[in-house]
Structure 1
Amino acid sequence: MLIEELPIPATLDAPGGAEFARAIEIGNVVEAISFGTADIAYRPEEELPHWLDPHSPHRLLLARVDGNIVGRAAYETKSAEDTDTAWIGVSVLPEFEGCGIGRALADAVERLAASEGRTKLLAYTGTTEYGGERLASPTGFGSVPRDARATRFLLARDYSLEQVERVSRLPLPVDALESLLASAAAASGPDYRVVTWIGATPDQWRADIAVLGTRMSTDAPSAGLEEPEDVWTAERVAEADERDLASPRTRLTAAVEHVPSGRLVGYTVLSVPAQRDRCVDQYATLVLREHRGYRLGMLLKVANLAHLERERPGHPSVLTFNAEENRPMLDVNEAVGFVPIAHEGAWRKDL
C-alpha cells in the first residue's frame, strides 16, 4: 500500500485529472452505501470547481494497492481568519475494508492537520442503520448506531459525536405548490417580496448575499462543532459565480427582500444537475434572525421550488440536510412533503 498526496488538477484533462476523477468516484461509492442512495453523488466535473476554491482550500490523499487507487482522504480548510479548524473525510472501497487502509489514511490526514497547526478536526458520516444500541447526540436530538463501522472507527480515534443531521427527500413535482406559495406570501405580509435568479448573483444583490453567506456560517445550528465564521464579501460572491460557470450544474436562487429597507433578509439555493433523471440538491437556506417569525422560511422554500418547476422541470426529487435540533426548518420541510431517508453524524476531534 502507498499513500500519496495528489495536487488538485486545474482541469480533468490536466495531469492528475484521471486520478482526481477516480477519487471522486470512490467517495460516491462509499456514500451511496452509507446513505443508502446514489442520489447524493456528484460527478468529477461538478466537484472540481469547488475543490479549486481558494477560499476553501482542499488537499487530497490517495491510497494505492498494487498501483490502483482504492481509498482517499479529503482535507479542507475555510476561513482565513480561522487557523484551528479542518474538515476531513476518509473513504475506502468496500472490498478493501479491514486491511488497515482507512486507519492509514486517517493517520496521514491527521498528521497533515497537525503539521498546519490545526487543533480541531470535523468529520461527517452517513447512516441508514436504525437497529441496535444507539449513540445519542449531545444536542438531545437524533442518534447514530453505536455498532456501525464508522461509529466504532471514529470512537476508537477519540472523535466525539456532536450533532446529527437528517437527510430528507422531496418527490417532485410538489402537489398544490402554487397554493402553498400563495399561502406563504399572504402569511409573510406586504413588507416582504420574493426575487429569483438563475446562475450568477445580480450586481445589486451581491453585498446582501455576502452578508447572508457569512451569517449562514454563524446562525445555522452547529452544536459542539463550533464551526468558525466564514466571511463573505461581494467580491467573493462574484468569484464564486465565476467558478460556477465551470460546473455543468445550475444554481437557482430565491431570496426575500425586506421592502422598507430594500435589503435581502433571507435566501435559499437549489443546485440542479444537467441530467433530468438526477436529484436536485438543496443548498443553504437562511433567514436573518431579526426577520424570523414571518414564515419567510416557508416562503423561500416553496418560491424556489416553483422557480425550479418553471425553469428546470422534470427532475425526480430534491435532497436536503438539516440539523435534527432545527425544528423550525424541519417543520417547513415536512409541511412541503420532505421525508427522512438517512442521517449524518457530525464528529469532532481536538488535537
Structure 2
Amino acid sequence: MPITVRTLDTPPAAAVDAWHDVVTAAHQHDLPAEIPPPGRAETAGKLQVPSARGRVVSFTATAPDGSYEGVASLLLHTDPGNEHTAFLSTLAVRPDARRQGVGAALWDAVRAELAADGRTSVATELEVGGAGEKFAGARGFENVLPITWYVQDTSLPRPDGELPAGYTFATWEGVVPDHLADASATAHGAMDDAPTGDVDEAPPVWNADKVRAAAQVILDRGGVMLTVAAVDSRGGDDTVAAYTELVLRDPSDVRALQYDTVVVPAHRGRGLGRAVKLRMLAQQQPHVRWIGTTVADENRPMLVVNEALGYGRERASGIFQTKI
C-alpha cells in the first residue's frame, strides 16, 4: 500500500478527528480494556497547544485516499542541557494497517527529523512485552529505566492526611499562587535525585515561570490540575516541603494521573509524602474513580508510600532509548 508521510501543522478539526481515530484504535487494540483511551479534548490539546519544554513535530502517514493509517509526535527538547535529545510521544498505527510498512515509514521520517536537528538520542515510553517494544527493539531501542504502572481505587475508605506540627496544607487548582511560586520551583528541583536509570536527559532547571508554564500548558490543552503541598512557615518564609500533583487530561476523565510527588530532602522521614497524597484523595473531584501513576522500579521509597496507600500493580512499562 503506498504511504505518504507528511508533517502536520496547526491541524483543523477534521485532522484532529482523523488523528484521534488512529490513537484510539491503537490504544484499544494494544492495552487492556480497563485503561481508558485518550479523550478527543486531550488529542486536540496535544496537537494544537505547544509544549512548555520544546518544539513538537507531528507526522501523519496517509493512504492514497487521504485517510490516516498512522501518526507520530516528536518533542525536540529546548531546555538547557537537553538540546541533544528528544522524546517520541506517539507512534501509532491503525491495527488493520500494520505490517504494511506504515510504522517503518513514520520512524524513518522521525529519524530524519532527529538527524536534521542534530539530535543524538531519542526516548519513548513503551509497554513491556507489547507490539511497540518489539518494533522499537528492532530499531535499537533499549529499556534504560524500567517503570511500572500502579492504580488506586479512590472509593476505598482512607484516613485524611495529617501533618506533623509546624506544617500546613496548601491546595490549589491550576497555576501555583504567586506567593508560593518561588518555593514551589525550589521543591520541583528536589526531583533531581529521583531515579532516571540511563536516560540521556538532564533534569529540568526550575524557576517560578517554568512551574507556571508547565501548569498552564495542561490547562490550555483542556485539562485540570490539582496540587496539594505541605508548607513549612517556621522560618518566616513559606517553604514547600512536599507536594503532589493530580491531572485530568480531560475534565470528564474517571481515571486521573498522578504526576510528581516530591518531598524535599531536608523534610524527609516525617510522613509528608503520605500526608499530601491522602489529602489529595480528599480534595480530588468526586467523579474520579481511579488514579494511575508510574514509579521507577528502583524508587523504593515511593513504592513503599504507594503500597501503604493501596496502589496496586497494573502493568510493566519502561523508558526506552536509542542513539541516533
Taking structure 1 as the reference length, the TM-score comes to 0.82
Name the residue aligned to 2:165: 190
2:154·2:281 contact (CA, 8 Å) conserved in 1?
no
- How big is each residue's C-alpha offset from its partner over 1:169-197, in whole Å with a ceiling of 9 and x where there is no partner? 1112231333xx24xx3xxx213322111
CA distance in 1, matches of 2:23, 2:34: 11
**Structure 1 segments unaligned to the other structure (5+ residues):** 10-14, 127-143
- How big is each residue's C-alpha offset from its partner over 1:130-186, in whole Å with a ceiling of 9 and x where there is no partner? xxxxxxxxxxxxxx33xx4323222211111112211111112231333xx24xx3x
CA distance in 1, matches of 2:91, 2:57: 12
Name the residue aligned to 2:312: 339
SS for the counterpart of 1:223 is: coil
Q: 1:226 to 1:259 in 2, by over 3 A?
A: farther
Cα drift, residue 264 of structure 1: 0.5
Name the residue aligned to 1:90: 91
Name the residue aligned to 2:296: 323
Alignment map for 1:8-157 (pairs within 5 Å): 9=10, 15-37=11-33, 39-50=35-46, 51-66=49-64, 67-81=66-80, 82-88=82-88, 89-126=90-127, 144-145=128-129, 148-157=130-139
Cα drift, residue 329 of structure 1: 1.1
Cα drift, residue 94 of structure 1: 1.0
Q: Greater share of helix residues, 1 or 2?
A: 1
SS for the counterpart of 2:316 is: strand
2:281 is aligned, of 278, 298, 305, to 305
CA distance in 2, matches of 1:155, 1:245: 35
SS for the counterpart of 1:349 is: strand
| Mapped pair 1:3 → 2:1 | no
CA distance in 1, matches of 2:109, 2:167: 50
Alignment map for 1:167-316 (pairs within 5 Å): 167-178=149-160, 181-182=161-162, 185=163, 189-216=164-191, 218-261=192-235, 262-272=238-248, 273-275=250-252, 278-308=254-284, 312-316=285-289
Cα drift, residue 340 of structure 1: 1.3
**Structure 2 segments unaligned to the other structure (5+ residues):** none
Cα drift, residue 282 of structure 1: 1.1
Q: 1:268 to 1:25 in 2, by over 3 A?
A: farther
1:205·1:264 contact (CA, 8 Å) conserved in 2?
yes
Cα drift, residue 322 of structure 1: 1.0
CA distance in 2, matches of 1:325, 1:45: 34
Q: 1:49 to 1:206 in 2, by over 3 A?
A: farther
- How big is each residue's C-alpha offset from its partner over 1:234-257, in whole Å with a ceiling of 9 and x where there is no partner? 223333444444343321110111
CA distance in 2, matches of 1:48, 1:231: 28
SS for the counterpart of 2:106 is: helix
**Aligned-CA RMSD value:** 2.2
CA distance in 1, matches of 2:6, 2:184: 38
Taking structure 2 as the reference length, the TM-score comes to 0.88
Q: 1:160 to 1:239 in 2, by over 3 A?
A: closer
SS for the counterpart of 2:114 is: helix
Amino acid at match of 1:213: H
CA distance in 2, matches of 1:28, 1:248: 18
Cα drift, residue 210 of structure 1: 2.2
